[in-house]
């Protein structure tokens, strides 16, 4: 039988600003709904926020990234699909 790997977020910083509130709301909403959208400008910490949610839930997650190094004219799209 395979053992399940645990996702551990390793970062030299912790959530700040509105991230703690966003993480809390995302976690609470996961209990009630399947679909959520996290909006924000480039560089606001959306990926780090979602990584914290993944760590806390330990749900299997598929990360889809269209382009890790986008130009200014091509907005980056990353989708996080958390299994229920």
Q: Residue 7: inside a domain, yes or no?
A: no
Q: Residue 9: inside a domain, yes or no?
A: no
The reported pLDDT for the residue numbered 28 is 93
Number of domains into which the chain is organized: 1
Q: Residue 1: inside a domain, yes or no?
A: no
- Give the predicted TM-score (pTM) of the model: 0.74
Q: Residue 45: inside a domain, yes or no?
A: yes
Q: State pLDDT tens for residues 43-77.
A: 888 889 999 999 999 988 887 766 555 555 555 55
Q: Residue 12: inside a domain, yes or no?
A: no
Q: Residue 4: inside a domain, yes or no?
A: no
How far, in Å, CA of 67 to CA of 73, rounded?
Answer: 12
Q: What is the DSSP secondary structure assignment for residue 34, as one 8-state letter?
A: S
Q: State pLDDT tens for residues 17-37.
A: 999 999 999 999 998 887 888
Q: Residue 11: inside a domain, yes or no?
A: no
Closest among 42, 37, 41, 84 to 62, alpha carbons compared: 84
- Beta carbons of 22 and 30 less than 8 angstroms apart: no
Structural domain including 76 reads 19-82
Question: Nearest-5° angle of CA 83, CA 9, CA 57?
Answer: 30
List of E strands, the chain: 61-65, 78-82
Q: Residue 48: inside a domain, yes or no?
A: yes
């Amino acid at each position: 039988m395979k053992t399940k790997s645990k996702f551990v977020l390793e970062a030299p910083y912790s959530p700040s600003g509105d991230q703690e509130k966003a993480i809390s709301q995302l976690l609470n909403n996961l209990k009630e709904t399947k679909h959520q959208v996290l909006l924000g400008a480039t560089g606001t910490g959306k990926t780090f926020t979602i990584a914290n949610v993944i760590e806390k839930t330990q749900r299997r997650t598929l990360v889809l990234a269209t382009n890790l190094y986008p130009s200014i004219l091509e907005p980056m799209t990353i989708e996080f699909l958390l299994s229920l």
